[in-house]
Amino acid sequence: MEKAIGFLGDASSAYQLLGTLNTTLLTDESVIANAIQNRNFEVLQKIWHQLKGFAPVFCQDALVAEITRTEGLCKQMTSHQEQAAALAASALLQASLQALQLEVAAQILQAAAISKPPTP
């Protein structure tokens, strides 16, 4: 969250965007799985492109690079080998995003617990 607060300027904006990221990750999970299964590279590329907007705010540089690389793989494929590489990268990225979503949810829960006064 420190990175996000530094990027956005205040904690309120960071938590608001964190909530949006959580919703996006939850919504996109089934879309990503379906696109991988159906080899729909256009949908995958669109999702990876969208996530690049969130990634620099909340993610480590390695995940940002993984998103960027996977998006690139899904853009231009001329051979079965390139398609296979794009699908494999998408599946790995999907797993990374599932882990990210769990971290995001934990941050949201932690923030909610801190902001609520204890009940007697």
Which CA distances in Å does 67 have to 34, 78, 107, 110, 117? 18, 20, 22, 27, 39
Reported confidence tier of residue 3, pLDDT bands at 50, 70, 90: confident
CA distance 41 to 31: 12
Contact in structure between 73 and 39 (CB atoms under 8 Å)? no
pTM, entire model: 0.83
Three-state DSSP class for 16? helix
Please tell me the number of Cα atoms within 13 Å of 99 on its side-chain side. Answer: 9
**93-112: pLDDT as tens digits:** 999 999 999 998 998 888 87
Residue 76 is predicted with a pLDDT of 80
Question: pLDDT at residue 119 above 70?
Answer: no
Reported confidence tier of residue 118, pLDDT bands at 50, 70, 90: low
Q: Mean pLDDT over residues 37-62, rounded? A: 89
Residue 77 is predicted with a pLDDT of 80
Question: pLDDT at residue 70 above 80?
Answer: yes
